[in-house]
Structure 1
Amino acid sequence: MRETFWQLVRFGVAGGLATGLYALVYSPLAAFKITSEQVANIAGYLVAMLSGYVLHSKWSFRGHGVSAKTSASKFFAVSLVSYAVNTFWVWLLTDDAMLAGPWWWPLIPIVVVTPLVTFSLNRLWVFS
């Protein structure tokens, strides 16, 4: 139980960094209407996925199970789930046909909900 707690803390820090990088990429692209929210989401996802893989495989889940090489394809699959969840939030909260909210609304569930989903999948499947 203690190991899981500290793993969750490490995941939170590493995931927070990756999510912060996502927000740093997504926010100016969406806020200044450089591109659509969905394209900004893709750009943020790519940065977060690459940085997240390095951080999680080297630090968050180190010594938890499989090596980084054997976990890469599973991590990528989970990152696609993360991308799909984030795409849903962006669509639901900013699309004119849905809630038509401001560009920053999706950042709330992206920071709060998506990390819980990815931690569970990474711990139970990717790095187990």
Structure 2
Amino acid sequence: MAALQHRIQSLRASGVLGQLIRFGIAGGITTGLYTLVYSPLAGLKITSEQVANVCGYLVAMTSGYILHGKWSFRGHGGDAKNTSWRFFLVSLVSYAMNTFFVWVLTDDAMLAGPWWWPLIPVLFVTPLLTFALQRVWVFK
């Protein structure tokens, strides 16, 4: 128990805990926006799951850049000139991951699952990797 308390205090002192909390809130908003765009497009068969994924990605990337740059990692990183291209590359990694999840879980040639299956790894896997990349590379 003492080791856990020491670790939490260490994260707090380094600023990582605050960033992680802000990232969780901002990421929740961003992921919620992705879901609000993806779900009706894919669920109501307005378009394919992959096109819905692209639409959700564009909304999430734009809102994520603003929220994470101005709030999640405030005071942690460089200026917009140095972070913009890095943020975009990390965003492409997250897009590739989400595209992979959509393909494997919904494509008829793969698992052919329902449209909502990809939301599970999109909500729980992609944010962990993007936090780590943004913390150590984008907003360093």
Q: TM-score, normalised by structure 1?
A: 0.98
Q: Which amino acid aligns with 1:15?
A: G
Alignment-derived partner of residue 86 in structure 2: 74
What secondary structure sits across from 2:109 in the alignment? coil
- State how far apart, in whole Å, the 1-side matches of 2:20 and 2:80 are: 18
- State how far apart, in whole Å, the 2-side matches of 1:68 and 1:106 are: 32
Displacement of 1:6: 1.1
Q: Deviations over 1:46-81 (max 9, x none)?
A: 000000000000000000021233200000000000
Displacement of 1:97: 0.7
Alignment-derived partner of residue 112 in structure 2: 100
Alignment-derived partner of residue 19 in structure 2: 7
1:58 aligns with 2:70: yes
Picking from 87, 103, 110, the partner of 1:91 is 103
- State how far apart, in whole Å, the 2-side matches of 1:103 and 1:52 are: 23
- State how far apart, in whole Å, the 2-side matches of 1:105 and 1:69 are: 37
Q: Which amino acid aligns with 1:34?
A: I
Picking from 88, 111, 119, the partner of 2:123 is 111
- State how far apart, in whole Å, the 2-side matches of 1:98 and 1:17 are: 30
Q: TM-score, normalised by structure 2?
A: 0.90
Question: Structure 1: which 5+ runs fail to align?
Answer: none
- State how far apart, in whole Å, the 2-side matches of 1:95 and 1:5 are: 38
* Off by >3 Å, runs of 4+ in structure 1: none
Q: Deviations over 1:3-56 (max 9, x none)?
A: 101100100000110000000000000001000000000000000000000000
Q: Which amino acid aligns with 2:82?
A: T
Higher relative contact order (CA 8 A, sep 6+): 1
Question: Structure 2: which 5+ runs fail to align?
Answer: 1-10
How large is the Cα RMSD of the aligned pairs?
Answer: 0.6
Higher-Rg structure is 2
